[in-house]
């Protein structure tokens, strides 16, 4: 999987009348009060009603007024200028042929819409117990990096004047799951996430990286993210008419196609001697865990300490050998 040849976009106003766009409302009406991910809330929206950013202005209900974003409810639309950073971003990916794409990837139907899992991104917050374990390992420098990184805006979500400044978030692996560590930046100064915890501005939160769900729209040859994935990115600068320039010259386009497209679809290829390979991460952590548990047995094996030390030395030797070979010999096992 690679980002090569892929271009990300935003929803067009015209698409909001499509069956796929109406499906977004259906998912919301099924009890999902907030259509976005926890990460979308933490990066800008906070506990505000969700405003989904669209690519171009439009007219609703005959009103002669530009709509820069729309509030996802059944009967209310609110106007907000696009230079604010708390808009939700629902990426749209263009395809040469959605039918060929469906053939090449597993898909299923929900509410009459073809749905597919494609790409990975930080989405939901870790459970409270996972968060505690992750932070403990992080502070002890025991978490292993996968080599994958994600980029968001470092600027405060309340700031409308300073331009985009990339903040790189490292991906870590614990057991078979991957996570990122992030100091939350909600425009509401605090935000309640799905683990029930109320996070205040700059609090540390851990988010699980998981497959992204897309709705397939064959009429426009696009796939649309079922959930908004993040916020906190300006459409354009404060002193510009946000829609006065071609989309490809906006801050939003640059972010989508300089950072987000790679974050979603690029797989990490690391040097084979770097033990931060994803497979190597789990093996290395498991072997370290074995050595730690063997060390705890010492008080209970009096008279057999030499045998225990011999086992520990063998485990260390296996670990060192696998690290030197980049775990290549065990990738299939």
Res 76: pLDDT: 38
Res 224: pLDDT: 85
Res 78: pLDDT: 39
Res 16: pLDDT: 54
Q: What ranges do the domains of the chain cover?
A: 8-265, 278-330
Res 168: pLDDT: 95
Q: Round to whole Å and give the CA distance between 306 and 312.
A: 10
Q: Under the phi-then-psi rule, with left for phi > 0, alpha for psi from -120 to 50, and beta for the rest, what region is 34?
A: beta
pLDDT tens digits in sequence order for the chain, 333 residues long = 566 778 888 766 555 555 555 555 444 444 444 468 999 999 998 887 666 666 655 433 333 333 334 433 333 333 344 577 877 888 988 877 666 666 777 777 876 778 888 899 999 999 999 999 999 999 998 898 898 999 999 999 888 888 889 999 999 999 889 999 999 999 888 999 999 999 999 999 999 999 998 888 777 778 888 888 999 998 877 655 555 557 787 888 889 999 999 999 987 654 334 444 444 455 665 666 676 667 666 666 677 777 878 887 887 777 777 666 554 443 333
Res 33: pLDDT: 44
Res 112: pLDDT: 75
Radius of gyration of the chain (CA): 23
Give, rounded to a whole angstrom, the gap between the first and last alpha carbons of the chain: 22
Res 185: pLDDT: 95
Residue 290 CA to chain centroid, in angstroms?
32
Task: In the chain, count H helices and then E strands.
Answer: 8, 13
Q: What are phi and psi of 124, to 5 degrees?
A: -100, 150
Q: Round to whole Å and give the CA distance between 87 and 83.
A: 9
Res 28: pLDDT: 46
Residue 8 CA to chain centroid, in angstroms?
15
Res 222: pLDDT: 82
Q: Round to whole Å and give the CA distance between 23 and 96.
A: 23
């Amino acid at each position: 999987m690679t980002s090569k040849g892929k271009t990300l976009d935003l929803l067009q106003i015209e698409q909001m009348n499509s069956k796929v766009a109406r499906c977004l409302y259906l998912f919301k009406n099924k009890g999902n009060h907030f259509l976005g991910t926890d990460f979308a809330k933490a990066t800008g929206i906070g506990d505000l009603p969700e405003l989904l950013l669209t690519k171009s202005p439009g007219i609703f209900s005959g009103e002669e007024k530009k709509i820069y974003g729309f509030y996802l409810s059944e009967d209310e639309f609110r106007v907000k200028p696009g230079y604010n950073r708390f808009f939700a971003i629902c990426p749209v990916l263009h395809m040469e042929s959605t039918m060929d794409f469906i053939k090449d990837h597993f898909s299923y139907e929900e509410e009459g819409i073809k749905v597919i899992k494609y790409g990975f991104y930080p989405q939901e917050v870790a459970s409270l117990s996972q968060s505690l374990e992750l932070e403990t390992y992080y502070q002890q420098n025991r978490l292993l990096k996968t080599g994958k990184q994600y980029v968001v805006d470092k600027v405060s979500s309340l700031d409308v004047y300073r331009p985009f400044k990339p903040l790189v978030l490292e991906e870590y692996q614990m057991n078979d799951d991957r996570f990122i560590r992030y100091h939350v930046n909600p425009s509401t100064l605090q935000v309640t996430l799905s683990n029930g915890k109320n996070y205040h501005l700059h609090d540390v939160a851990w988010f699980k990286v998981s497959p992204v769900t897309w709705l397939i729209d064959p009429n426009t040859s696009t796939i649309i993210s079922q959930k908004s994935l993040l916020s906190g990115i300006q459409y354009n600068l404060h002193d510009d008419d946000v829609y006065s320039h071609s989309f490809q010259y906006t801050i939003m386009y640059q972010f989508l196609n300089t950072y987000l497209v790679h974050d979603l679809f690029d797989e990490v290829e690391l040097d084979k001697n770097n033990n931060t390979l994803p497979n190597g991460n789990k093996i290395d952590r498991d072997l370290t865990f074995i050595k730690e548990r063997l060390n705890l047995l010492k008080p209970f094996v009096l008279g057999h300490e030499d045998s225990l030390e011999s086992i520990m030395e063998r485990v260390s030797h296996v670990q060192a050998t696998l690290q030197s070979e980049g775990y290549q010999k065990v990738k299939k096992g």
